[in-house]
Every structure is written in C-alpha cells, then in structure tokens.
Structure 1
Amino acid sequence: MSAAARAAASYQALQKYLAVGDGSGLYHERYPVVSGDNAYSYEWPFSQAHTATLDLTGMPGQQGEGYLPDLAARAVGQQRYWKASGGTTGKPGYASYPVPPYGGGGDFFYDDNEWVGLLDVQRYLMHGDREALARAEQIFQLVVSGWDSDTAHADPGGVFWTQATWSQDRNTVSNMPGAELGLRLHQITGQATYLDWARRMYDWTNRYLLSPDALYWDHVNLTGTVETTFWTYNQGVPVGVNTLLYQITGDREYLDRAQRIAGAAHSYFVTGGRLLGQPPYFNSIYFKNLLLLESVAGGHAYRDAMAEYGDTVWNRFRDSSTGLFRFEGSAQTETLQQAAMVQIYAVLAWPPADHRHLY
C-alpha cells in the first residue's frame, strides 16, 4: 500500500473513532473512552491532529486538495483553546484545555504553543495563509515572554516549559522549537528581532543541554540539575534549527552541525535499535526535521529510515479491523499516536522537494 493510501486510511480511523461528534470540532484524548476521561483532548494532541490534516493537504494533486475543507475545520477547532486575555505574562495564547463553553481552559505550555506557531508557518508556506502567519507572530511574542530573566537562577536564561506553578524547568523542547519558529518568521518577514531571539534560544540550549555525544538532554531545573534523557524530537528540532540557520547565514558550520546531530541521533536511535521505544509523536517531529535537512543537503538516508519505521509500525501495531494504532499492547489508541502516524505517511507521500516547507 502506498504512503498516501496509508495516510488516508489512518486519517479516516482518526476521524471515525477519535473525533468528537458534538459540533465542537474537537477530539477525544483516546479511544475507547473510559469513565473519568475528559470530554475533549488536551491542546497538544489536538495540535498534532491539526498538523496531520495540514500534512495531508501537501500530498500531490487532488489527493491533497481534498483535505482543504478538513483543514479549515481544524482551524475552527484550534480556536477552542485560544485564550485572548492572556496567561501569567499577559500575552494571549493557546491554553492546555478548551476554554468556555467547552472547558475551563488551562495553563499555557510554551512548547504546545510553539507547535501551533510552526504549523501556522507551514500553512503560510504551503497555502499563503496570512491569517495563520499573523497568529504565528502572536505566538512568538508569547514564547519570548516566557524567557527566564532571573540571573540568580542556575544556568540563567532559557524559555520555561510552562506557566504552571508546579514546574520551573527550561527544556530543549521549549527553546529549540521557539528558535525554529523565530527563524521561520525571520525568513518570511526579514525582521531582525526574530533572528536575534532565535539565536538567543539556540545558544542557551547549546550551552546547557547539549551533551558531549552531540545529542540533547531534556531539561534543566532552577538548581542546575539536568534531566539527561534523550528523546527523538529533542534531536530532530535542533537539526531543523541548524538547517534554517545555514539557509539564512550561508555559514557552512550550521549545516555541518545539523548533519552531525542527525548522524548521532541516527546511530543512537535507528542503528542502536531504540527508535520503536520512542513515542510515535516524538518520532514524527524527529523525522520531519531530518527531511528538512535532506531538502537542503540532499540524500535520502533519513527518508529511507522514516519509510522503514512507517512499514514496521503499520505491520506490527495497526489493528486492521479499525485502522487504529495500538502500541506496546495497549487496549487504547491516543489521538497523539494516531495523528503522528498520519503525519508520517502523509509526508512520505510528498515530493521530496516540498519537504523544505516542513517546520
């Protein structure tokens, strides 16, 4: 079965089993729904279903065009999380749960907002959507407001992970995607402030969270204790950031860094047999950034690895009776997991030259 056919079948299952049929345009967190589950998913899973729909529109010809009405519907659903009155820094953004009348809202997570900003940029690059671009610029202002300005903290600086009071971590995933968003906005608008902030986030992450193995650790807290777990998406996004910095500056060192990180991550996760132990929604982000690198540097090794991963998941973790993916023997499917696999198959169906639009 072709990648496009797999994407279509996986999306059909997403809509059949995980979309909420109450007119809200939202999703369940998982299927089957069990007692005690929230009525709707959190914003992070929704954003990945939104991104999956956007990726489907990039498939060639009428295949992709047929998903444009669904993309419009995702934009409506996305706004169920928008909190115009702002969070703790006074900037508007997407709450972690739908706002009234669908829910009580929730804390702002900077990484959640960055993923929406990046999909908005991708939407602009693919479809010329200026409203999406304007929203991406708003989101970047929120991200900047999350910078740790207290120089008394250990490893001062960095964008916090969340505005929630129970965490004061600064993460690779709250800084590198912010840098990637800033670089994309700089490419589009030419505004120097986006590049300046992107470099600031990039430099901080490299200083405090880059391991000697050329892989990125997860986060550091305010006492300077580093969580040293390696996740695939924390390697993929820095690959994308360095690729964009190379495009902007022409400095070959950035491309060399992108290739060095990509090679180290491939050795650790793919050759090292750890890839299937990573969540599919981390792997989708990881691979898409590697495709961005290959769109600039050439080659197809990472696309081949992505295709092999897609084959393995299809054959080992897909329930053919429903079209849903169930990982590690779970009796449930998460919206996050299903949406990630739609992304992977949809992007594999793109012409490789179009991978330059990813993130």
Structure 2
Amino acid sequence: MKIPVRTALVLAAAPVLCSALCPAPALAAAKPAPDPWTGRAEATYGSLQKHLYQGPENHGLYQEKTPQQTTDNAHSFLWPMREAAAATVDMAGLPKAGTAYRADAAERFATLERYFEPRDGRPGYDSYLPAPLGQGGDVFYDDNSVVGLSLLDQYRSTGDTTYLGRAEQTFDIVSRGWDDDASKTCPGGMDWVDSPSNTTRAANVTGLAAELAARLYQVKHESRYLKSAQKWYAWNRTCLRQSPGLYRNSRGDDGTVDTTLWTYNSGAMVGTATTLYLATGDHSYLKRAVADADASLAYWKQGDRLHDQPAIFNAIYFDNLRILNGVRPDPAYRQVESAYAERTWKENRDPSDGLFRFQPSGGGDYDASAPAETLEQSAMVQIFAGLATDRS
C-alpha cells in the first residue's frame, strides 16, 4: 500500500501493524480488484486543466468558474488556486502514474506565490492576487492555514526544504490570528480574517491552524509548534464542540454562536488529534480522534447530509480520515468515501465535458445551470486520487 502524500507526513512516526494492514494468507494470492479511481482522477484532472486552467501565458493561473462572465475577476481567488495545487500534489502521488504530474505540481506552487503579499510587518497570502495581476485582498487565516498544509505536502513529495520554509512562514502568519482578548466569552480562538473589522473566531481556522502546527512539530520538533497545536486544538474542543465529532462553525465576539456544522471542521480535529498522538505518544489524543471520526461518520452518512456538503469540505474530511486510518484502520472510512465518490461521479458529473456541477452551496444534486468551479473540480480530483492511492 502506498500512503498518500498528505497522510505519509503525519504517519512517519507510526508503527506498521501487519496484523491490521497485511492481507490474510488465503487472500494474498488473489488478483487485486480493478481500481476505477486512478482513471477517474486523471479524467477529472484533465477536465480541470482543459476548461479552467488558463495556461502558462496567463501566469499558470486558473479562472474561478466556467463559463466566465465579463464581470468576474480575471483569475481565481486564493482558495481555489490552493485546491488546484493540492489536487496536483495528489496526482503526483498516484502509484505508477504520478511521475507525469510532478512538473505540474511544481508549477502550481510557483503560481501560489503570486498571491503572497509581503506588506510591512503583516505578510500573508492575499485572498486575491496583489498588483500587478490584481487588486489584492485581505489575509484570511483559514486560506493561509490550508496553503501551509499543502506546502508541507509538497515538501514531503519532493524533499525540497524550500517548501518547508514557506510552511513555517505560513505558521507565523496564521499565529497572528490567535485572539488573546480575555474579556470575550470563551477567550481565545483564531480570528477568521486579518482585519480590524473581524468579529468571528472560527472552528475552521482554529482546527486547520492546529493541524498545521502539529505537522510542523513532527518535522521540526520545535516546542512552539507543539504548544500552539495543543492550545488551538483545545480551544475548539472547549468552545465549539457540540458533541463528539461535530463542531459548531464559529463564535462571535458578541457571544453569539453560529451552530452550522461542516464536514471539514470534523476532519481537521480528527487529523490534528491523530497527529498529536503520533508526535507525543499520548494515547488520549488517539482516543479522541477515533471518537470524533466514528461519531462524525455516523452523523454525516445519514440521508443526504454528506452529499449536501460542499465537495471541498468533504475532500478535507476524507483526507483526515485517511490519516487516522493509517494509525487505527477502520474499513468504514473508505466505504463511506467510496460511496460518496461513486454517487458524485454518477450524479454530478457532466459526461460531455467531465466537469462537476453542484447547487450554489457547492454540494447537493446536479444543477445544469450552475457553473463548474475550480474549487469543486479540484476537490473531486483530491477525492479520486486519495482513493486510488490509499487502498487499505
């Protein structure tokens, strides 16, 4: 079994338990079942590149969606660009086929740097391209957290410490988001955006930043990363946990709580706890990861809940379940992901162009009038490539 790039980094310290992962003797000689996922990953990536990629002549950027309207920005925001980069790293990790995508992955990360704005004292990846390609934008800490996680994926894939250094720099950016105003209800948490007008401390920022810190600690073994990961993870559990595996969206500075549930908030906490277990040997983190994974899966697989979530949120969720599965295998994780991927391939993909279309929320049933978006097309590449790479 080849471990996916994103999973491999956090599993570097984990023992391989053959009793759990190796095939039974009676099955060892059986011919492996055909794998549809590599072909689907390649087809979905090909459609992304054909219909949404703007090419080297446009600085290697993507458009936000297709069809592109004259009122739209010329290029995508940072988040879709990051997901295209994450998708390409996953393609480069495909067994046998991955080498064909390594040059593409290097290009994606060079393009991501076009969103970086040094600023005086408060650098960060802008939500939109700074001059001369765009008008710039705010630094959103959730965007910067996922950029940092992808930089670590590319570092793991290539061994190039340039990416590790950029991930460390991204940690410094998101660290600014910690709210240390003790007068607020449930003090702490990560601000959503680097702006004086911010009034939200969000589960996504805090969980994803904690995961970034935990993964950096695994590589660098610096106490600042461990302390931050533990503090940020603990705030989400204390201040936004609704029940095992389910985390409310955010807390307002006025004390109000947005109770909306999203799959990626569940996933970030599973991935962070698993990584903290691997980094510290503290089994309480593994126990929490398993409890969150099992409870969240029981909730999300009911009815259309999973299908109605944005595809990109599900991609992040499944990626983190794979991290846990590498430590404490459970076939239910892959079964639910496979069922979701199969349904989405059949119901949300337009066979004429290979593009996925969803409701305006990014999830739900096929909507022929909806545009295809770089964000969601990249999410489906990630899901198919993850299934193709990790067949445990």
Task: Report the TM-score range of the alignment, normalised by the length of the smaller protein.
Answer: over 0.9
CA deviation after TM superposition for structure 1 residue 240, in Å: 0.4
* Alpha-carbon distance in 2 for matches of 1:187, 1:9: 34
Match of 1:85 among 119, 140, 150: 119
Paired residues for 1:123-138 under 5 Å: 123-138=154-169
Counterpart of 2:68 (choices 33, 36, 59) is 33
Aligned partner of 1:47 in structure 2 is: 82
Q: Is the 8 A contact 2:218 2:279 kept in 1?
A: yes
Match of 2:322 in 1: 291
Deviations 1:206-243 (A, max 9, x none): 11101135410000011111100110001011000110
> Are 2:245 and 2:293, in contact at CA under 8 Å, matched by a contact in 1?
no
Per the alignment, residue 334 of structure 1 pairs with 373
Q: 1:277 to 1:200 in 2, by over 3 A?
A: same
- SS of the aligned residue for 2:242 comes to coil
Secondary structure of 2:75's match?
Answer: coil
Match of 2:280 among 227, 230, 249: 249
User: Which amino acid letter does the alignment assign opposite residue 316 of structure 2?
Assistant: I
Residue in 1 aligned with 2:47? 13
Alpha-carbon distance in structure 2 between the residues aligned to 1:73 and 1:203: 37
* Residues in 2 aligned to 1:179 and 1:154: alpha-carbon distance in whole angstroms: 21
Shift in Å at residue 331 of structure 1?
Answer: 2.8
1:345 aligns with 2:379: no
> Are positions 1:195 and 2:216 aligned together?
no
Structure 1 counterpart of 2:294 = 263
State the match for 1:141 in structure 2.
172
CA distance in 1, matches of 2:225, 2:204: 18
Structure 2 residue 310 is matched with structure 1 residue 279: yes
2:138 counterpart of 1:107: yes
Does structure 1 conserve the Cα–Cα contact (< 8 Å) formed by 2:182 and 2:188? yes
SS in 2 for 1:116: helix
Q: Is the 8 A contact 2:244 2:296 kept in 1?
A: no
With 227-236 and 267-276 compared, the bigger mean Cα shift is at 267-276
Change (3 A) 1:108 1:127: same
Larger CA deviation: 262-271 vs 311-320: 262-271
Distance 1:227 1:33 in 2: 33
Cα-to-partner distance string for 1:296-348 (whole Å, 9 max, x where unaligned): 10122111211111111100010001000011314311111100000001111
On the 8 A contact 1:52/1:343 being kept in 2, the answer is yes
1:59 aligns with 2:98: no
Partner amino acid for 1:3?
W
Superposition deviation, residue 205 in structure 1: 1.2
1:181 pairs with 205, 212, 224, which one? Answer: 212
Q: 1:325 aligns with which of 343, 350, 356?
A: 356
Matched, 1:206 2:270: no
- Cα RMSD of the aligned pairs, angstroms, is 1.4
The residue that corresponds to 1:153 in the other structure is: 184
Tell me the equivalent position of 1:235.
266
Asked whether the equivalents of residues 244 and 291 of structure 2 are also in contact (C-alpha less than 8 Å), the reply is: no
Query: Any conservation in 2 of the 1:231–1:278 contact (CA below 8 Å)?
Result: yes
SS of residue matched to 1:197: helix
The residue number in structure 1 matching 2:58 is 23
Q: Which residue of 2 aligns with 1:310?
A: 341
Q: Structure 2: which amino acid aligns with 1:340?
A: A
Deviation at 1:49, TM superposition (A): 0.5
Distance 1:253 1:308 in 2: 31
Residue 45 of structure 2 aligns to which amino acid in structure 1? Y
CA distance in 1, matches of 2:148, 2:165: 10
Kept in 1, the 8 Å contact 2:245–2:294? The answer is no
User: Unpaired segments of 5 or more residues in structure 1?
Assistant: 354-359
Is contact 1:295-1:352 (8 Å) kept? no
Looking at structure 2, the residues matched to 223 and 127 of structure 1 have their Cα atoms a distance apart, in angstroms, of 45
Aligned residues: 349
- Deviation string, structure 1 residues 146-167 (Cα, Å, up to 9, x no partner): 1112212222111101113443
Match of 1:356 in 2: none
Q: Distance in 2 between matches of 1:133 and 1:103?
A: 27
3-state SS, counterpart of residue 228 of structure 1:
strand
Task: Please tell me whether the aligned partners of residues 237 and 285 of structure 1 are also in contact (alpha carbons under 8 angstroms).
Answer: yes
CA distance in 2, matches of 1:73, 1:125: 16
Cα separation, 1, equivalents of 2:133 and 2:142: 22
Q: 1:301 aligns with which of 332, 353, 363?
A: 332
Q: How far apart in 1 are the matches of 2:288 and 2:304?
A: 23
Give the structure with higher Rg (CA). Answer: 2
Gapped regions of structure 2 (runs ≥ 5): 1-34, 360-366
Q: Structure 1 CA distance, aligned partners of 2:259 and 2:190?
A: 18
Q: Distance in 1 between matches of 2:140 and 2:262?
A: 18
Residue 116 (str. 1) matches residue 116 (str. 2) = no
